[in-house]
Structure 1
C-alpha cells in the first residue's frame, strides 16, 4: 500500500539535518564572535588560560610543538596578525621569548592586556628563563589571568573564579608532590645538559652539579674543556645519581654525554620546554616528577 508520508520522510529528514547544521553554524559563529581572542607565547600558558576562560576565550598558543626547538623559532606575519587581534597576551619573559616582546613593541596601539610571567615571580633578563619549572610561576600566572578575565567580563565572574580555584587545586598537587620528593631526595647530586629543569631541581633540594657547563649551553657558547671533563668524570665515576637532559634539543655534545651515562649505568630523565599535546600542565609536571622519582629510586 502506497503511503505518501513514507516518500516525504527523506526530504523532511534532509531539511531537518540542514536546519540542525545551520543552527550549529550559527552557534559556532556566535561563540567565535563573543569569545575573547588570546595569544599565549607558549602552550603551557595557553593551557592555563583555556582552563580558566573556558568557552569564553579563544586561545592561540604559538610554541606548541614538543618536537621543535623553541630557541630556533622565528615569528611569522601570521603571528604578528594574531597578536594584533588579541585582547590578552600571556608570555614568559626573562628573555626567553624576546621575539614576542619585539612584536608587541611594534604595535602598541592595540587595547590588549599583557601578562608576563617573569615579573610576577621576580625574575628578569639574565636569570634562568625556564620559569614554568618554578613551582611559584603557574599559580601567579593563573591568578593574574583570572583577575583580568573577571574585570574584563564580569558577567562570567563566577565561572572564572570557579575555574581558577580548580586550576590552583591542580597546581597544589604538584607542589605537594615536590614537597614529598624533597623529603626523600634533598641533597642528592644530579647533573643536567642545560638548566631547563633548574628551578624544579632547586625546589626538590637536589644538588645540581656542572652549573658552568649548563650555563654555557643555555647561552649558546662552547663549554670549556675542563667543564666538559668534569661532567664526563661525574658520569663515569657515579658522582651523580641522575642526568637530566632536554629532549627538544639534540646536539653532538648532549648525545655524547647520554652515551657515557648509558655506559656508566647512570639513569637519564628527559624534560621538554613545550607541554605535550593532550595533557594539562599539572599532569605534565607530575609525569616528569614521576620519571625523576623512578630514576632516583633506581640509581645505585
Structure 2
C-alpha cells in the first residue's frame, strides 16, 4: 500500500490537478465560442468512442459524458479477476479503435495501456494523482483519484465535443455535488469511528478505509504475502487468526474476487468470533451504476459492521467474566476447564466451513 508520506504527495498532486481543471472549467464552456472561427468541419460529429479498461472508470466516463460519449468497458463483471485478465484479440481491437482510452494504471491494467494508439487520447488514474507501479492500484476507492479523473474526463470530452461542452460541464457539476455529499458523510463517519481497527484479507479497499479514518491492523507478514499474491507463512496466518479470535479488530474486509482456502479460514474465524465481515469486490457490482453510489453503499455496510461489533461487545465481556469464574472454580476443585484459553469458542480456524472470500493484496508496499 502507499505509505503515509506518499499518500500526502498524491493528495497534493490531486489537489493541484483539481484546482487547475476547475480554473479551466470556464475555458471548457468557452470552447463553444471558438468553434465559429475553427469551422464546423473541425467539430466531433458523433458520440466520442471511449474505451475503459475496467468498469469502475468506465462508469465515471459515462456519468460525465452522457450522450456525448459511447463507453465500452473491457472488464465489466465481478466474475473476472482484473489482475490475471488476458484480453482477447477483439478487446485489443476495440481499444485500438477508441478515440479516448481510460485506464487505471499503477500496474493494474498494462495490457490496456500497451494497446493505446498514437491517435487516441489516454487518461490514466495513476498519472492523474501521481501513483506508480508498486503502489496499491485500487485507485477508484480513493476520493482524490475520483475527483482527479472526473475533471480529466470533463476537460477531454469538452475539447473533443465543444458543441456539447455546456451539457458535459453540467453533468460534471452534478457529479461533483454527489461526490461532495459523499465526502461530507465520510468526514462525519471518520469523527465517529476515528482509528477503529480493521484487518483485510487483501488490500482492495485500503484507500476507502483510509478516507474513513480507520486503522489497518493486518499483520505485516500476511500483508506482504498477499501483496505478492503468494500464500502466507503458517506463523503469519496464525497471527492473523489470533488477531481476529481475540477481537482486536472491529471488522474484517474480504475481497470476494480473490477467494482461497486461506481467506475461507480467516472469514470462518471471524464468524466464530463474531467479528463482522464486509465483502468488497474489485470490479463494480452489477447492481450499482455509479462509483459514488457504490462508495456510499460500502460506507453504510462498514458503519453497520462496526455497530454490530459494538453491540456484541457486552455479550463477549459477559462470556469472558463467566469463563474466568469457571476457571477459578475449576482450580479450587482441582479440575481443569477443557475450554480454558478459548473464551470465544474459536478453536482451530481450520475446522468447519466459512464464508468464502479471498486473500491477495496487489502491488502494495
TM-score relative to the length of structure 1 = 0.85
Q: Which residue does 1:186 correspond to in 2? A: 194
Q: Which aligned pairs between 1:180-219 and structure 2 lie closer than 5 A?
A: 180-212=188-220, 213-219=222-228
Q: Which aligned pairs between 1:44-193 and structure 2 lie closer than 5 A?
A: 44-104=56-116, 108-109=117-118, 111-193=119-201
Encode CA deviations 1:93-113: one digit per residue, 9 max, x unaligned.
000111112223xxx34x110
Q: Which residue does 1:293 correspond to in 2? A: 303
Q: Which residue does 1:14 correspond to in 2? A: none
Gaps of 5+ in 2: 1-44, 314-365
SS at match of 1:37: strand
State the structure with bigger RCO (CA 8 A, min sep 6), 1 or 2.
2
Mapped partners of 2:175, 2:224: distance in 1: 33
Encode CA deviations 1:35-57: one digit per residue, 9 max, x unaligned.
11100111121111111111121
Alpha-carbon contact 2:250-2:276 (below 8 Å) kept:
yes
TM-score relative to the length of structure 2 = 0.70
SS at match of 1:196: coil
Alpha-carbon contact 1:179-1:204 (below 8 Å) kept:
yes
Out of 212, 225, 235, the position equivalent to 2:234 is: 225
Out of 227, 242, 248, the position equivalent to 2:251 is: 242
How much is the aligned-residue C-alpha RMSD, in angstroms? Answer: 1.3
SS at match of 1:136: helix
Mapped partners of 2:228, 2:187: distance in 1: 31
Aligned residues: 264
SS at match of 2:185: helix
Encode CA deviations 1:260-285: one digit per residue, 9 max, x unaligned.
11011110000111112242211111
Alpha-carbon contact 2:141-2:207 (below 8 Å) kept:
yes
Alpha-carbon contact 1:195-1:215 (below 8 Å) kept:
no
Q: 1:177 to 1:215 in 2, by over 3 A?
A: farther
Does residue 267 of the first structure (1) align with residue 276 of the second (2)?
A: yes
Runs (4+) of structure 1 exceeding 4 A deviation are none
Q: Which residue does 2:261 correspond to in 1? A: 252
Mapped partners of 1:84, 1:133: distance in 2: 28
Mapped partners of 1:250, 1:36: distance in 2: 38
- Larger deviation, residues 115-124 vs 210-219: 210-219
SS at match of 1:164: helix
Encode CA deviations 1:234-276: one digit per residue, 9 max, x unaligned.
1111110100000112111001111111011110000111112
Q: 1:151 to 1:211 in 2, by over 3 A?
A: farther
Mapped partners of 2:248, 2:65: distance in 1: 47
Gaps of 5+ in 1: 1-32
